[in-house]
Structure 1
Amino acid sequence: MVVVNWNGERWLGPCLAALARQRARFSFDVWVVDNASSDGSLALLARDHPQVRVLRNADNRGFAGGNNTALREVTTPYAVLLNNDAVPEPDWLERLLAPFDAPGAQRLAAVTSKVVFAPRFLRLRLAVDGFVPGGADRRQLGVRIASVAVDGEDVTAGVLWERLTYGPEGTGAGRTWWTRPAGELLLPLPEHGGPWSVAVRWSAERAKDVGLSWDGGRVALPVTSTMTTASWTVPAGTALVDVVNNAGSVVLTAGYGADRGYQDVDAGQYDAPADVFALCGCAVALRTDAGRAAGWFDEDFFLYYEDTDLSWRLRAAGWSIRYEPTAVVRHVHSATSVEWSPTFVFHTDRNRLLMLVKNATAGRAAREVARYPLTTGSIALRTVRTAARARSRPAVRPTLLRLRVLASLLRLLPTMLRRRTGRRAVPRRELERWLVSAR
């Protein structure tokens, strides 16, 4: 059992306690790989978990290098990876390994878990008069949200609203999200049974009312053209739901990795085992022989897409990957690396292209690599034009970040092209039948 940690003192305790509670009919060892943490992680391990073997790296080697530190020493038939911010159910480990003993599992390389978000959520529906800003911006907008708090605690980072909002705008304390005129968001609530006090800071293009509703309740709240705070109470006993984080992974036709079932309310629709294209590195069991033959994770990726890249290589070698819905973990999404942070964007943008160069057909890889600088130029030109119309300084950071991606991609391109070579049991074009269109 391998847990990679970097400054995860806050999460390690619950994770390791859950591993200690596993009801398994076999023994297992827990190894924590520490990527040069500067918080109290090592002290916590020595004090509270002396039975855990700690492998210390001299520097932060990311998810890929951190796991490889342990995986290269594994001698057992299977190795299990678990994020330090994940808490498994007591029967998780036994259920995760069970498919390897099933008939016909000789070419099964990995079993990936059902991952749900750690908190439970309120399904909150929003409805408001919409508007179109005009000019080049043709979006249908509703309200602009700056923050959401529950019982006085800021939960903005934990709100699931990708299907309601257009994504973050601005940085730091100035970050906001424009909503569509109508849609649903999922609000994380602590499980104390309620009532819950909710406060939202928001604004709009003019004064108007916003309708918010949930199963068993509704409220109408005012919004104005300046940032104000509106509050309401969710009654005790209101029904909360679990939300899927990952039920196996897929790759889109443009090469973007995606979580199967991401942000779907868990209504049992992912309760059947299934063959999936890719594993999720958050909570997965790997057949040691298969992983070793594939070379484990590519450490040039550092973090993000390294699990999808490994999956692609395993499938190219003729192995299969299975999703097991009864092996459940609860996961604090992006606890170590903040989603949409520069670190997140750099590695996801670059590693998608590295993965395609290594694994995809030549045409698909060349098309996506060529598209990236063209899109970068288009974004830069649009930024300059928008700033000129507003008579303001252009926002250059997104373009500079994309230029960093291109520079790193070019540096690693010869290495990735060399890694395209080698024998393949399954042709590239046949594997690309697994790729799916964006929903």
Structure 2
Amino acid sequence: MTPVVAIVILNFNGRHYLEKFLPNILAHSAGNDVWVADNASTDFSMSWLSENYPEVRTISIRENKGYAGGYNEALRQIDSKYYILLNSDIEVTENWIDPVITFMESDQRIAACQPKILAYDLPTHFEYAGAAGGFMDYLGYPFCRGRIFDTREEDLGQYDDEADVFWATGACLFIRSDAFHQSGGFDECFFAHMEEIDLCWRLQNRGNRVTYCGKSVVYHVGGGTLHKSNPRKTFLNYRNNLIMLFKNLPKGRRWKTILFRIILDGVSSVRFVSTGAWPDVFAIIRAHFAFYAMIPELSKREKRTTYRAPLYFRSVVWEYFVLGKHRFDQLTGMRFPTTPKS
């Protein structure tokens, strides 16, 4: 009989996180298969697993394919109705699975869902990677209920609901296996960062719902593979954001939006210069040239889609940095459904 849920942890040199959080995951996930897919780690993660947790199922990937390629290869080998893609640096809580699966079972159009993501180092506040569900403005800047840029809200129960969102975080992503595979999975040209936003955008363009369930709570360390101060992370975030816009925006808006982003990325570079973060400046420059080099290939594999995903048609950059709106409920005209669409 096919298991209902497969919990899949993608690991790259994360043995220290497995040692810390895997016992907690196993304790609160009884009855569900737990997998660790290893992205060619060199820290003896797999031998440690086999010695200490033989009940955990494993997949060895011969090279580090990043988040996108690693999960694509792993999930092709796992048969389950639902996948939970779980970062190794997450602490789960009791009954973290059932509320989400129950919610997803209530509507077959729900393809993906995320729980409430709180900060492991500051449990009273939301975490950067997903918080209470992600959104994106028309210029491609992602933000969350509970977290806009560097401002994290305190969790006071304001997001204990179930809601439709623009994207669900890859840190703890519940997804129907058929929706994942039918949509083509993650785009491996992203390698890591923003591939889940791209996938959620494509899912919505196919008529699916992407959602959030506040009845489930997990705690995320964050930056387990790449810290936010690492220029490599800067490179991937800036390059992948441009790739995502090119792929998913309607042709009539694509180049106008990317032109705005070129200007705003230049402004962002100036901010890095003012703080002496020259490696990040060079990372942004390299990100743009890498994107430009990819345009011919991206154009070749372009597919015609029906544009459905609801962007926030204001600038979150303007509202945050100029108007001083640092909480989600302060944003102008934020109206997204919190009940199933008819």
TM-score bracket for the superposition, by shorter chain length? 0.7 to 0.9
Q: Are 2:72 and 1:68 aligned? A: yes
Contact 1:112–1:285 under 8 Å retained in 2 = yes
Stretch moving more, 244-253 or 322-331:
244-253
Equivalent residue letter for 1:411:
A
Contact 1:85–1:332 under 8 Å retained in 2 = yes
Residue 294 of structure 1, aligned match among 183, 187, 196: 183
Match of 1:143 in 2: none
| Structure 1 unmatched runs, 5+ | 122-240, 387-393
- 2: CA distance, partners of 1:380 / 1:292: 38
Q: What's the secondary structure of 1:115's corresponding residue?
A: strand
- 1: CA distance, partners of 2:157 / 2:277: 44
More helix by percentage? 2
Return the TM-score normalized by structure 1.
Answer: 0.64
Q: Shift of residue 310 of structure 1?
A: 0.1
Equivalent residue letter for 2:309:
L
Deviations 1:96-149 (A, max 9, x none): 2111222xx02110121111001236xxxxxxxxxxxxxxxxxxxxxxxxxxxx
Match of 1:258 in 2: 143
- 2: CA distance, partners of 1:120 / 1:81: 23
Match of 1:366 in 2: 255
- 2: CA distance, partners of 1:79 / 1:285: 6
Equivalent residue letter for 2:113:
V
Q: Are 2:309 and 1:431 aligned? A: yes
Contact 1:353–1:368 under 8 Å retained in 2 = no
In structure 2, relative to structure 1, the CA distance for the partners of 1:37 and 1:373 (3 Å cut) is same
Q: Are 2:289 and 1:407 aligned? A: yes
Q: What's the secondary structure of 2:170's corresponding residue?
A: coil
- 1: CA distance, partners of 2:144 / 2:61: 29
Deviations 1:257-281 (A, max 9, x none): 2232121100000111111111111
| Structure 2 unmatched runs, 5+ | 1-6, 321-342
Q: How do residues 44-83 of structure 1 correspond to structure 2 at under 5 angstroms?
A: 44-83=48-87
Q: Are 2:117 and 1:115 aligned? A: yes
- 2: CA distance, partners of 1:78 / 1:112: 13
Q: Shift of residue 400 of structure 1?
A: 2.8
In structure 2, relative to structure 1, the CA distance for the partners of 1:286 and 1:275 (3 Å cut) is same
Identity %: 32
Contact 1:119–1:242 under 8 Å retained in 2 = no
Q: Shift of residue 436 of structure 1?
A: 5.3
In structure 2, relative to structure 1, the CA distance for the partners of 1:434 and 1:243 (3 Å cut) is closer
Equivalent residue letter for 2:10:
V
Q: What's the secondary structure of 2:190's corresponding residue?
A: coil
Q: Shift of residue 309 of structure 1?
A: 0.2
In structure 2, relative to structure 1, the CA distance for the partners of 1:341 and 1:381 (3 Å cut) is closer
In structure 2, relative to structure 1, the CA distance for the partners of 1:84 and 1:435 (3 Å cut) is farther
Q: Are 2:22 and 1:16 aligned? A: yes
Match of 1:352 in 2: 241
- 2: CA distance, partners of 1:54 / 1:306: 23
Runs of 4+ in 1 over 6 A off after TM superposition: 376-384
More strand by percentage? 1
Number of residues of Structure 1 aligned to a counterpart in Structure 2 = 304
Q: Shift of residue 405 of structure 1?
A: 0.9
Match of 1:30 in 2: 34
Deviations 1:198-234 (A, max 9, x none): xxxxxxxxxxxxxxxxxxxxxxxxxxxxxxxxxxxxx
In structure 2, relative to structure 1, the CA distance for the partners of 1:436 and 1:323 (3 Å cut) is farther
Stretch moving more, 365-374 or 8-17:
365-374
Q: What's the secondary structure of 2:23's corresponding residue?
A: helix
Equivalent residue letter for 1:431:
A
Residue 314 of structure 1, aligned match among 200, 203, 209: 203
Equivalent residue letter for 1:346:
F
Residue 229 of structure 2, aligned match among 340, 347, 356: 340
Contact 1:305–1:348 under 8 Å retained in 2 = yes
In structure 2, relative to structure 1, the CA distance for the partners of 1:296 and 1:381 (3 Å cut) is closer
- 1: CA distance, partners of 2:121 / 2:49: 25
Q: Are 2:98 and 1:94 aligned? A: yes
- 2: CA distance, partners of 1:406 / 1:116: 32
Stretch moving more, 359-368 or 335-344:
359-368
Q: Shift of residue 287 of structure 1?
A: 0.8
- 1: CA distance, partners of 2:312 / 2:157: 23
In structure 2, relative to structure 1, the CA distance for the partners of 1:13 and 1:90 (3 Å cut) is farther
Q: What's the secondary structure of 1:431's corresponding residue?
A: coil
